[in-house]
A and B are shown apart, each in its own frame.
Chain A
Amino acid sequence: QKEVEQDPGPLSVPEGAIVSLNCTYSNSAFQYFMWYRQYSRKGPELLMYTYSSGNKEDGRFTAQVDKSSKYISLFIRDSQPSDSATYLCAMSVGGQNFVFGPGTRLSVLP
């Protein structure tokens, strides 16, 4: 079993839809949970990070962590074609052991 798993997609949704992107993980010691957005042939861009369990909202994006299920989610409301990218989750134990998921490719159709 890989340490962090993501459905690779591609996930195609119509413009305006609510998107749910998910990651599961096996290491219960992970404390920080990050979401990055990566456009084709570009470097990843940090969207947000959360510490431990709970929700965090930033504009149209909401990150959710369920440590009991070892499951994290990123929700995108009112999705736009400009949201079309690969979304990478990442996790770390404090300042160590930083692991990325393989990414989910999202396509938002106009």
Chain B
Amino acid sequence: GAGVSQSPSNKVTEKGKDVELRCDPISGHTALYWYRQSLGQGLEFLIYFQGNSAPDKSGLPSDRFSAERTGGSVSTLTIQRTQQEDSAVYLCASSLESGDTQYFGPGTRLTVL
């Protein structure tokens, strides 16, 4: 079956521009996570959606970052007024239930010039 997909795979943008990153989770998975992976920084949790519950936004680094999940499926991570320090690989993962195995997408590599 289809895995987690993310688009675009690569995004180059200029400082100050807004970007939208998309994640299509595995069908039927109730939990969806966004992470950021920077060179030498490990895996940084950003936001977590579980079903219809309010999302856990505790990992978002600033108010320039936001995410939504429409209809319990597709999710969009938006970064406003991008900064060079936002450059990283943004990973999305979904799981059938929150505490179980996560399936990761291939990531979106964001480069802010």
A binds B: no
